[in-house]
């Protein structure tokens, strides 16, 4: 049974049983405490927590997920994958334990001919929470399971909570017994790979508080609405139904594994380590493909870092399989073909996805080449010093700074006859992980608790009237001060105010929040920010300017009209620039993010190289031509599928409902899904002045523009500057570039003459410096300060000349100077000095320490520097002291 068929049977079954079928949300979640949709429940959290009323009593879905916390287990077990699909059925205060158990058992054990999954109940085991007698008894009542195949387990396996105050409850899990050839008897309690968990039924029935750990908390009582949250692993069902040993051999994953085998020229199943690598490649390629299809791009932080890590693990694994060259074109194409029936976007968006994939591979292959060079130097230095072990710090630097995998460091070091201090490396990695976890916990504590808005959201959605009106009459529904609900707020206080209606735009879709005021009987509030803390609820952060505001009072929101007008201009300008980019660069130049505020727009897009001046001018001209043409701007609210069929562009990773707002500028020329505010015709934008273009990652670029009056002011300022230059340089505007180039050439020639003069002046000091030599033991030493110097290179050149003048007996030269207001020390040693143990790198490092900086280098010549120029004489003395020690 194909993976897609299993998913369809699941959805068909629950649709027949009264469930609303909900499409998968993006892998990029809008939950601020998470990077990705890590579980099937994530899109439903507002409904499960009660923060937002559920729009349906029961639902079912096939949710795509990414989870990398067990990334080291990928390929080693039959079931661990970074990308997986979670089939789920949900009840929001509707059916509870009996319904969940009945549905699960019926679907699993009904014959395939009747639309079921056809499992033999003799192969199924069940676990329940050890104190959940109700679930235990329901399994006996509703099924023919013998009691010995219903096992009671503890909180660590059969109790669900988020680790935060809120909903929680016991679980019941269904396992498939793969048979004695896969492990020992004894059921899921043995925790053996023989028993594969295929379905988890979460009975969300309690409210918890005083959470001390995920499994240590106080139960406040039962939830007013008990929910069902279930998850059945699609890949796990697939490998069982397809008769293969693991998820990597299923129909959606195996094609990539086979291509990796073909490229490596090795046999799958012949070597355990190779098999793990093949499975890692198959899993990570699919995960990377799916992440990129949801708009994630490789980068050095956040979601992009996770994607980059997955892709680089593929390259590393292929390298360990003997393939050093590019492989992504073949591997990603195979994954696209395997996934396109279930997720057509991987084919329709293939040009953009493949562009990112191939660029990332090329970049990392260059990184590997550079890392190998650095590693070779470290290994050579270790050998030269008589060492046998590369330090953990050096291995960690390669990993953390250069992205060089530790596995390759170990492999190359072994080939060189050296070991790596793996314990020290692991310790540094552990410290880094601990810092990352602490940051994540802090973020989760700060952002995850939205329960304070639950009662307010239960009163209904905030009505936004700002598309048509700049004022709205309303009523105060709630007031929060420091996250706590209060009855009123007084002058000088900062508070959050929730209203039934508002004309003030909440920050979203790249557009910043409106400015304005809220007024009512006896009070005025200055609006500092407007946000959507939970879906459907708008919160106004305000400072009480005068009077006192209380819950239940009348309120009028008043938008700052000038600021809104300029923000509308900027947002509409962003759409025009996006269309102009696609006109100029092609359809792969898709939006990766934006920011719009009054008078300014910033637009990030997928592109792998800088734009030429000619291209930037062309984009700016196309956008301004659209302004000149006074194109009509229209908005429509329509079903999501219809909008997409009309070619509407969507921001990747943005969450859209069943109905969307589509903004057209000039009909289909610019057609995007957008909830922002816009002008009525393009001429209202006024002017778009492209002022910047830069890189924001290996495959993303950013353009910035001023809009409307701000654009005019910028051009006026440039005009005034050009006027000043024409006056000062006594040249007409068209001759300014040539005149400035002429001045630059003159300045460069003058600087060259000055440098030559200073170098000669230093060279003239050569005899005096050689004559100033003293002895420290058997070593001739010159340690002198030169005062100011043009460059460290000049000081280095003079030090080498002095060293030659001193002859063949042991000699050390240390010259100090101030270069660009910073002290520099150059140390040079000859062969005889080095033979007696004097090393320039060690001496320069010691001198630099006196200067408050650092340094080092080769044994024959080295450089140090710092910040304390007054300490230069002491630094030179330290060189003599080190030689005499």
How far is the C-alpha of 773 from the C-alpha of 469, rounded, in Å? 86
**Residue that terminates a domain, selected from 559, 588, 612:** 559
pLDDT grade for 793, boundaries at 50, 70 and 90: confident
**Could you give the C-alpha distances from 397 to 335, 405, 424, 844, 845, in angstroms and in order?**
33, 11, 12, 23, 20
With residues binned 3-state (H G I as helix, E B as strand, rest as coil), the percentages for the chain, rounded to 5, are 45, 25, 30
How far is the C-alpha of 316 from the C-alpha of 310, rounded, in Å? 10
Instruction: Indicate whether 380 belongs to any domain.
Output: no
Instruction: Indicate whether 374 belongs to any domain.
Output: no
Higher pLDDT, 561 or 777: 561
In the numeric block, which tokens belong to residue 777?
A: 């033991």
Task: Choose the weakest-confidence range: 50-54, 356-360, 832-836.
Answer: 50-54
Please check whether residues 425 and 472 belong to one and the same domain: no
Closest CA to 513 of 553, 483, 557: 557
Provide the 3-class DSSP secondary structure of residue 117: coil
* Residue 492 CB coordination number (10 Å): 9
In the numeric block, which tokens belong to residue 454?
A: 């639950």
Please check whether residues 279 and 171 belong to one and the same domain: no
**Residue that terminates a domain, selected from 515, 540, 559:** 559
Residue-level pLDDT at 753:
86
Please check whether residues 144 and 163 belong to one and the same domain: yes
Asked if residue 248 lies in contact with residue 254, where contact means CB atoms within 8 angstroms, the answer is yes
Residue-level pLDDT at 439:
58
Instruction: Indicate whether 733 belongs to any domain.
Output: no
Residue-level pLDDT at 444:
43
Whether 678 has a binding-site annotation, put simply, is yes
Instruction: Indicate whether 124 belongs to any domain.
Output: yes
Whether 571 has a binding-site annotation, put simply, is yes
Which CATH number belongs to the domain containing residue 630 in this structure?
3.30.980.10
Closest CA to 162 of 441, 438, 453, 537: 441
In the numeric block, which tokens belong to residue 57?
A: 């009593």
Query: Range of 295's domain?
Result: 254-366
How far is the C-alpha of 204 from the C-alpha of 92, rounded, in Å? 10
In the numeric block, which tokens belong to residue 253?
A: 């994953």
Residue-level pLDDT at 339:
96
Please check whether residues 570 and 700 belong to one and the same domain: yes
Residue-level pLDDT at 554:
96
Query: How do residues 690-743 score in pLDDT, each as one tens digit?
Result: 999 998 866 789 999 999 999 999 999 999 999 999 999 988 988 988 999 999
Instruction: Indicate whether 734 belongs to any domain.
Output: no
Please check whether residues 66 and 24 belong to one and the same domain: yes
Dihedral angle at the C-alpha atoms of 125, 129, 130, 132, nearest 10 degrees? -110
Residue-level pLDDT at 428:
87
The residue to which tokens 């330290």 are assigned: 878
Across the range 75-80, mean pLDDT stands at: 81
Asked if residue 533 lies in contact with residue 506, where contact means CB atoms within 8 angstroms, the answer is no
In the numeric block, which tokens belong to residue 261?
A: 């085998």
Q: CB-based burial of residue 571 (10 Å sphere; 0-12 exposed, 13-18 middle, 19+ buried)?
A: buried
Provide the 3-class DSSP secondary structure of residue 630: coil
pLDDT grade for 429, boundaries at 50, 70 and 90: confident
Q: Which of 213-217, 300-304, 511-515 has the highest mean pLDDT?
A: 511-515
Across the range 80-98, mean pLDDT stands at: 94
Model confidence, pTM? 0.69
Query: How do residues 230-278 score in pLDDT, each as one tens digit?
Result: 999 999 999 999 999 889 999 999 999 999 999 999 999 999 999 999 9
Whether 272 has a binding-site annotation, put simply, is no
Q: Give the ranges where 130-253 is alpha helix by DSSP (H).
A: 133-142, 155-158, 234-241
The two beta strands, 419-420 and 389-390, are: parallel
Closest CA to 676 of 581, 570, 578: 570
Closest CA to 686 of 572, 539, 770: 572
Residue-level pLDDT at 437:
60
Provide the 3-class DSSP secondary structure of residue 517: strand
First to last CA, the chain: 80
Q: Which of 491-505, 585-599, 762-776, 783-797 has the highest mean pLDDT?
A: 491-505
Asked if residue 667 lies in contact with residue 650, where contact means CB atoms within 8 angstroms, the answer is no
101 CB-near residues (< 8 Å, 6+ apart): 135, 138, 139, 142, 143, 172, 201
CA atoms within 13 A on the CB side of 496: 18
Task: Choose the weakest-confidence range: 379-388, 499-508, 619-628.
Answer: 379-388
Asked if residue 13 lies in contact with residue 61, where contact means CB atoms within 8 angstroms, the answer is no
Please check whether residues 93 and 211 belong to one and the same domain: yes
**Could you give the C-alpha distances from 496 to 480, 483, 532, 591, in angstroms and in order?**
5, 8, 11, 33
pLDDT grade for 287, boundaries at 50, 70 and 90: very high
Residue-level pLDDT at 651:
66
Instruction: Indicate whether 610 belongs to any domain.
Output: yes
Which CATH number belongs to the domain containing residue 20 in this structure?
3.30.930.10
163 CB-near residues (< 8 Å, 6+ apart): 211, 213, 214
In the numeric block, which tokens belong to residue 190?
A: 């043995």
Please check whether residues 704 and 821 belong to one and the same domain: no
Please check whether residues 9 and 78 belong to one and the same domain: yes
Q: 819 pairs with which residues across the strands?
A: 822
Please check whether residues 539 and 568 belong to one and the same domain: no
Across the range 799-803, mean pLDDT stands at: 91
Q: Which DSSP symbol is given to 541?
A: E
How far is the C-alpha of 776 from the C-alpha of 885, rounded, in Å? 10
Query: How do residues 60-77 score in pLDDT, each as one tens digit?
Result: 999 999 998 878 888 888
116 CB-near residues (< 8 Å, 6+ apart): 9, 13, 106, 107, 108, 109, 110
Across the range 603-622, mean pLDDT stands at: 92
Q: What DSSP letter does each residue of 663-679 carry, written as one string?
A: EEETGGGEEEE--S---
Whether 578 has a binding-site annotation, put simply, is no
CA atoms within 13 A on the CB side of 173: 25
536: left (phi over 0), alpha (psi -120 to 50) or beta: left
How far is the C-alpha of 132 from the C-alpha of 152, rounded, in Å? 8
Residue 317 has pLDDT above 80, yes or no: yes
**Residue that terminates a domain, selected from 426, 449, 472:** 449
Residue-level pLDDT at 434:
74
Please check whether residues 353 and 409 belong to one and the same domain: no
Domains contained in the chain, number: 6
Residue 447 has pLDDT above 50, yes or no: no
């Amino acid at each position: 049974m194909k993976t897609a068929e299993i998913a369809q049977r699941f959805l068909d079954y629950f649709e027949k049983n009264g469930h609303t079928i909900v499409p998968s949300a993006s892998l990029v979640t809008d939950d601020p405490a998470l990077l990705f949709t890590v579980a099937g429940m994530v899109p439903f959290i507002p409904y499960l927590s009660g923060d937002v009323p559920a729009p349906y009593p029961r639902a079912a879905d096939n949710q795509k997920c990414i989870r990398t916390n067990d990334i080291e287990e990928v390929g080693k077990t039959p079931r661990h994958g970074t990308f997986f699909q979670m089939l789920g059925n949900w009840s929001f205060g509707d059916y509870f334990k009996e319904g969940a158990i009945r549905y699960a058992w019926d679907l699993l054990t009904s014959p395939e001919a009747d639309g079921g999954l056809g499992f033999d109940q003799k192969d199924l085991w069940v676990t329940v929470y050890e104190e959940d007698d109700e679930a235990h008894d329901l399994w006996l009542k509703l099924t023919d399971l013998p009691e010995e195949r219903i096992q009671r387990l503890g909180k660590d396996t059969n109790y669900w909570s988020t680790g935060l105050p809120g909903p929680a409850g016991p679980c019941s899990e269904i396992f498939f017994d793969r048979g004695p050839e896969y492990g020992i008897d004894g059921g899921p309690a043995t925790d053996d790979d023989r028993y594969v968990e295929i379905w988890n039924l979460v009975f969300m029935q309690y409210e918890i508080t005083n959470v001390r750990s995920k499994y240590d908390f106080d139960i406040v009582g039962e939830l007013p609405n008990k929910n069902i949250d279930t998850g059945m692993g699609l890949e796990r069902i697939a490998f069982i139904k397809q008769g293969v040993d693991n998820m990597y051999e299923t129909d959606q994953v195996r094609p990539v594994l086979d291509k990796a085998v073909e490229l490596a020229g090795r046999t799958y199943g012949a070597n355990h380590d190779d098999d793990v690598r093949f499975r890692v490649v198959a899993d990570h390629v699919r995960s990377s493909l799916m992440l990129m299809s949801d708009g994630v791009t490789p980068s050095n932080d956040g979601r992009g870092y996770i994607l980059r890590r997955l892709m680089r693990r593929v390259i590393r694994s292929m390298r360990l399989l003997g393939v050093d060259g590019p492989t992504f074109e073949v591997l990603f194409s195979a994954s696209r073909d395997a996934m396109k029936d279930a997720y057509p976007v991987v084919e329709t968006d293939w040009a953009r996805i493949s562009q990112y994939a191939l660029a990332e591979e090329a970049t990392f292959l260059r990184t590997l080449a550079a890392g190998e060079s650095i590693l070779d130097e470290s290994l050579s230095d270790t050998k030269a010093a008589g060492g046998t072990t590369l330090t953990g710090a050096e291995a960690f630097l390669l990993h953390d700074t250069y992205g060089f995998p530790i596995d390759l460091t170990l492999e190359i070091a072994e080939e060189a006859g050296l070991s790596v201090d793996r314990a020290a490396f692991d310790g540094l990695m552990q410290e880094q992980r601990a810092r990352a976890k602490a940051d994540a916990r802090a973020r989760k504590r700060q952002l995850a608790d939205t329960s304070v808005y639950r009662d307010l959201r239960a009163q209904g959605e905030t009505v936004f009237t700002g598309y048509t009106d700049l004022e709205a009459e309303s009523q105060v529904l709630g007031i929060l001060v420091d996250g706590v609900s209060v009855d009123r707020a007084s002058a000088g206080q900062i508070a959050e105010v929730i209203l039934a209606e508002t004309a003030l735009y909440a920050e979203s879709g790249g557009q910043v929040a409106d400015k304005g005021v809220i007024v009512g009987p006896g009070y005025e509030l200055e609006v500092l920010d407007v946000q959507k803390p939970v879906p459907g609820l708008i919160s106004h952060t305000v400072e009480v300017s005068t009077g006192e505001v209380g819950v239940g009072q009348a309120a009028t929101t008043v938008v700052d009209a000038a600021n809104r007008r300029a923000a509308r201009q900027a947002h509409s300008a962003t759409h025009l620039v996006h269309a102009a980019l696609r006109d100029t660069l092609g359809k792969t130049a898709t939006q990766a993010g934006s920011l719009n505020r009054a008078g300014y727009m910033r637009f990030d897009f997928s592109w792998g190289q800088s734009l030429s001046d000619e291209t930037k001018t062309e984009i700016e001209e196309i956008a301004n031509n659209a302004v000149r043409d006074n194109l009509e701007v229209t908005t429509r609210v329509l079903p999501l599928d219809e909008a997409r069929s009309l070619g509407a562009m969507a921001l990747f990773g943005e969450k859209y409902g069943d109905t969307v707002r589509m903004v057209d500028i000039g009909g289909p020329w610019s057609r995007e899904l957008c909830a922002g505010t816009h002008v009525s015709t393009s001429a209202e934008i006024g002017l778009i002045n492209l002022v910047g273009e830069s890189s924001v990652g290996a495959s993303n670029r950013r353009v910035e523009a001023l809009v409307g009056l701000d654009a005019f002011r910028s051009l006026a300022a440039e005009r005034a500057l050009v006027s000043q230059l024409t006056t000062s340089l006594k040249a007409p505007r068209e001759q300014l570039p040539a005149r400035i180039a002429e001045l630059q050439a003159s300045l460069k020639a003058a600087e060259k003459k000055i440098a030559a003069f200073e170098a000669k002046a230093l060279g003239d000091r050569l005899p005096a410096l050689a004559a100033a030599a003293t002895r420290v033991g058997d070593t001739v030493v010159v340690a002198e300060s030169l005062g100011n110097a043009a460059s460290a290179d000049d000081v280095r050149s003079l030090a080498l000349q002095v060293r030659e003048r001193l002859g063949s007996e042991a000699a050390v030269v240390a010259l100090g100077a101030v270069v660009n207001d910073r002290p520099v020390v150059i140390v040079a040693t000859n062969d005889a000095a080095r033979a007696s143990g004097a090393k320039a790198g060690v001496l320069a490092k010691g001198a630099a320490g006196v200067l408050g900086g650092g340094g080092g280098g080769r044994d024959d010549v080295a450089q140090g520097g710092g910040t304390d120029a007054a300490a230069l004489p002491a630094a030179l003395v330290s060189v003599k002291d080190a030689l005499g020690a």
